[in-house]
Structure 1
Amino acid sequence: MKTYSIQTQLKALYEQDEHLWLTEMVKLLKENRLNELDIENLIEELEDLGKRDKNKVESLLRQIIIHLLLLQYWTEEYEYNYRHWQGEIATFRIQLNRALTTNLKKYLLENQEDIYQEAVFIVTQKTGLSINIFPSNSPYSLEQLLNKDWLPEKFK
């Protein structure tokens, strides 16, 4: 009966203070009190954590591609903005490389083409450029996109 009471309290705590709930979950895990865990909410949180990580690295990679496309194709704005775009590329690369794990890198490899297509869409919306001027498939390898020193040949 005591276990049920603790689990009920933890479920209520989850609704009131997620951070405190998480602290309690960690404590229970460290103390190997597995039968007292709020399993339902713990599973939900772990699934959400995985989604957040994927969304974060996907967003950072998309931003790198967007700024590479701006750098390469938005010639009317190049003189005024190229340093800013290069700075954004560098910033997003640093953030992405810090966040990457082996599994997240694999995820990006599997989804790189979709991320590229989204980036092209965003750039066409931002610039008014025709979608036809962009390569239909990503011209960048993931290694190039992650490499802090890599820029397309024309911009080195």
Structure 2
Amino acid sequence: MSLSTINELKELYEIDDYLWIMETVKLLKDKRFDELDLENLIEELEDLGSEKRHKVESLLEQIVRHLLLLEYWHNEHERNHRHWCAEVIGFRNQLNDRMTKNFHNYLNENLSTIYKKARKYVSVKSGLETFPKECPYTLEELLNEDWFPKK
């Protein structure tokens, strides 16, 4: 399918965004920049960046949740500690596969907010209020595939 006008490409975006992406990629590869639907291309690139940032933030929050459960939910430790450790490993692997210097800086700057979300979740899940008010972990500890809190 060859689209000759920007208006046709804009219409395609409203009908089938996947086909719009394929056509946009084709135009980019063919260096037909003047035919690009720049307005929607910019929007899609901004959305892609936001999705990636949200994904790494979500993965870090999952790591924090499971470490807090592992370290503080003593009544469930015997039954769940292997599961929680496995979850931490899985989330770390996913996060480290996506990690860039910019994401590292972003996570470091937002660790306090991410921790507060994780703390609220585990407080509701466990019924405990014993979790520290401030994050007890550094970003380096959270990302280190071999690090776990001491019992």
The TM-score, its normalising length taken from structure 1, stands at: 0.91
In structure 2, the residue matched to 1:32 is 31
Residue type of the partner of 1:90?
I
Residue type of the partner of 2:81?
Y
C-alpha root-mean-square deviation of aligned residues, in Å? Answer: 1.3
CA contact (8 A) 2:123 2:131 kept: no
Q: State the aligned residue count.
A: 149
CA distance in 2, matches of 1:110, 1:26: 34
SS in 1 for 2:5: helix
**CA deviation profile, 1:22-73 (whole Å, cap 9, x unmatched):** 1111111122211111011001101100110011000000000000000011
In structure 2, the residue matched to 1:143 is 140
Report percent identity of matched pairs. Answer: 56
- Structure 1 runs (4+) deviating above 2 angstroms are none
In structure 2, the residue matched to 1:134 is 131
Q: Where does structure 2 lack aligned partners over 5 or more consecutive residues?
A: none
Q: How does 1:55-74 map to 2 (within 5 A)?
A: 55-74=54-73
* Farther-moved stretch of structure 1 (37-46 vs 13-22): 13-22
Residue type of the partner of 1:76?
N
CA distance in 2, matches of 1:127, 1:75: 10
CA contact (8 A) 2:62 2:91 kept: yes
Q: Where does structure 1 lack aligned partners over 5 or more consecutive residues?
A: none
